[in-house]
Amino acid sequence: MAGNVNEILKKENFTKADIIELLLSRGEEKTLLFKKSAGIKEEYIGNKVWFRGLIEFSNVCGKDCLYCGIRKGNRNLVRYDLSDNEILEAASFAYKNRYGSIALQSGEIESTVSTNRIENLLKRIKDLSKGELGVTLSVGEQTPEVYMKWYEAGAHRYLLRVEATNEELYKKIHPDNPKHSFRRRLDCLKSLQDIGYQTGTGVMIGLPFQSYEDLAGDLLFMKEFNIDMCGMGPYIEHADTPLASHSEKLLPLTDRFDLTLKMIAIIRIMMKDINIVAATALQAIDPVGREKAIKIGANIIMPNITPGRYRDSYKLYNNKPCTDDSAEDCQNCLEARIGLADAEIIYGEWGDTAHYQKRRSGLKLF
7-21 pLDDT, tens per residue? 999 999 999 999 999
The 3-state secondary structure of the chain reads CHHHHHHHHCCCCCCHHHHHHHHCCCHHHHHHHHHHHHHHHHHHCCCEEEEEEEEEEECCCCCCCCCCCCCCCCCCCCCCECCHHHHHHHHHHHHHCCCCEEEEEECCCCCHHHHHHHHHHHHHHHHHCCCCCEEEEECCCCCHHHHHHHHHHCCCEEECCCECCCHHHHHHCCCCCHHHCHHHHHHHHHHHHHHCCEEEECEEECCCCCCHHHHHHHHHHHHHHCCCEECCEECCCCCCCHHHHHHHHCCCHHHHHHHHHHHHHHHHHHCCCCEEECCHHHHHHCCCHHHHHHHHCCCEECCECCCHHHHCCCCCCCCCCCCCCCHHHHHHHHHHHHHHCCCEECCCCCCCCHHHHHHHHCCCCC
Question: How confident is the prediction for the chain on average, in pLDDT?
Answer: 94
How confident is the model at residue 246, as a pLDDT?
96
pLDDT in tens, 74-83: 999 999 999 9
How confident is the model at residue 341, as a pLDDT?
78
Task: Give mean pLDDT, residues 175-187.
Answer: 97
- pLDDT of residue 230 exceeding 60: yes
- pLDDT of residue 184 exceeding 50: yes
Q: Are strands 198-201 and 300-301 parallel, antiparallel or unpaired?
A: unpaired
Cα(24)–Cα(263) distance, rounded to whole angstroms? 11
Confidence of residue 317 (pLDDT cuts 50, 70, 90): confident
Cα(351)–Cα(345) distance, rounded to whole angstroms? 11
What predicted TM-score, i.e. pTM, was given to this entire model?
A: 0.94
How confident is the model at residue 86, as a pLDDT?
97
How confident is the model at residue 322, as a pLDDT?
64
- pLDDT of residue 175 exceeding 70: yes
How confident is the model at residue 319, as a pLDDT?
72
How confident is the model at residue 251, as a pLDDT?
96
Cα(32)–Cα(265) distance, rounded to whole angstroms? 11
Where in the chain are the domains?
Answer: 48-361
How confident is the model at residue 366, as a pLDDT?
42
How confident is the model at residue 336, as a pLDDT?
79
CATH topology for the 48-361 domain: TIM Barrel (3.20.20)
- pLDDT of residue 262 exceeding 90: yes
At residue 196, what is the residue type?
G
pLDDT in tens, 117-158: 999 999 999 999 999 999 999 999 999 999 999 999 999 999
Task: Give mean pLDDT, residues 45-66.
Answer: 96
Task: Give mean pLDDT, residues 84-90.
Answer: 97
- pLDDT of residue 292 exceeding 50: yes
How confident is the model at residue 325, as a pLDDT?
63
- pLDDT of residue 345 exceeding 60: yes
